């Protein structure tokens, strides 16, 4: 008795669908990586040696040389910085922010922001530029 299968598996594999998915992922990652928020506050960051310091934080505290504070691109008084920062990070899953201090800003201004982070158990990153 000769038994034959009615449906034979097709060994050919079409790469067209795989290429479409890969191109869509590539476009998605290109768009999201360029959407990283860059602050418009002009501070001259200190130099660092880390090759890939890209830590994505939506919230950044900028400290200018004259001691003025900015949360994102909005100027904030020193007395109000803690409450505004806590309100912005209290519902965030990632309770972290980046400190962008001018290289000539006073040490006490940076320490003030670091004390806020320590008091409320926030994670911080300090922005630098890579040495050339």
- Nearest alpha-carbon partner for 70 in 108, 101, 91: 101
Count of domains forming the chain: 1
Which CATH number covers residue 54? 3.30.420.270
In a domain, 98, yes or no: yes
Average pLDDT, the chain: 80
Q: Say how far apart CA 77 and CA 4 lie, in whole Å.
A: 83
Q: Are 123 and 96 in contact (CB under 8 A)?
A: yes
In a domain, 33, yes or no: no
Q: Say how far apart CA 103 and CA 109 lie, in whole Å.
A: 12
In a domain, 28, yes or no: no
State the pLDDT at residue 107. Answer: 87
pLDDT tens digits along 48-73: 666 555 556 678 889 998 989 998 88
In a domain, 126, yes or no: yes
In a domain, 12, yes or no: no
In a domain, 70, yes or no: yes
The share of the chain scoring above pLDDT 70, in percent, equals: 73
The residue segments making up the domain with residue 70 are 47-130
In a domain, 92, yes or no: yes
What is the full DSSP assignment across 67-80? Answer: S-EEETTEEE-HHH
Band of pLDDT at residue 15, cut at 50, 70 and 90:
confident
In a domain, 7, yes or no: no
Q: Say how far apart CA 48 and CA 130 lie, in whole Å.
A: 5
pLDDT tens digits along 75-99: 999 999 999 999 888 877 778 888 8
Alpha-helical runs (H) found in the chain: 16-34, 78-89, 107-119
């Amino acid at each position: 008795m000769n038994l034959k299968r009615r449906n034979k598996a097709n060994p050919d594999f079409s790469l067209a669908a795989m290429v479409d998915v890969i191109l869509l992922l590539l476009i998605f990652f290109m768009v999201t990586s360029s959407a990283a928020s860059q602050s418009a506050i002009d501070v001259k960051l200190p130099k660092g040696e880390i090759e890939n310091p890209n830590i994505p934080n939506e919230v950044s505290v900028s400290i200018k040389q004259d001691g003025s504070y900015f949360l994102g691109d909005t100027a904030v008084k020193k007395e109000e910085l803690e409450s505004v920062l806590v309100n912005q990070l209290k519902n965030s899953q990632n309770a972290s922010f980046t400190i962008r201090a001018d290289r000539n800003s006073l040490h006490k201004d940076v320490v003030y922001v670091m004390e806020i982070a320590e008091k409320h158990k926030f994670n911080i990153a300090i922005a630098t530029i890579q040495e050339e």
